[in-house]
Amino acid sequence: MWKDPYSIRDAKVGEPATCPTRNGQFPPSTSCVCIEANAKNSYGGYTGIRRTIVVFSSTSGAFLNTSDGGTVGFEEICQGTQPFPQLNGDYVEPKPSSKPARKPVT
């Protein structure tokens, strides 16, 4: 989906939602997820925040399509996106605390 997935930054993701019908473009029982991210293009420059709609079929579980960038017919799916730092190329998983767990006071 991206030329350089390790360059992704400012990633956000929306909640999965039922895809709009869009003139029968999607089969029944499909889910759409809105992803917003800034990544590098083929020339090595950042493109700015771009929307991608990922469509999954619940009948086959397969990735079907990316669509129009959320500009037409997907506005409601892209409302309420939340930061998703795990998608950022520079994400580092936090290390677990080395302190022992506290016992509850009884």
The size of the chain, in residues, is 106
Distance CA(72)–CA(22), nearest Å, equals: 10
pLDDT value of residue 24: 62
Q: Cα separation of 66 and 54, whole Å?
A: 5
Confidence at residue 50, expressed as pLDDT on a 0 to 100 scale: 84
Task: Tell me if 40 sits within 8 A of 47, measured CB to CB.
Answer: yes
Choose among 23, 9, 14, 10: nearest CA to 70.
Answer: 14
**pLDDT tens track for 28-60:** 778 888 888 888 988 999 988 888 888 777 666
Spell out where 4-95 has E strands.
Answer: 9-13, 17-18, 30-38, 50-57, 63-66, 82-83
> Which pTM value belongs to this model?
0.70
CA dihedral of residues 81, 82, 85, 89 (deg, nearest 10): 10
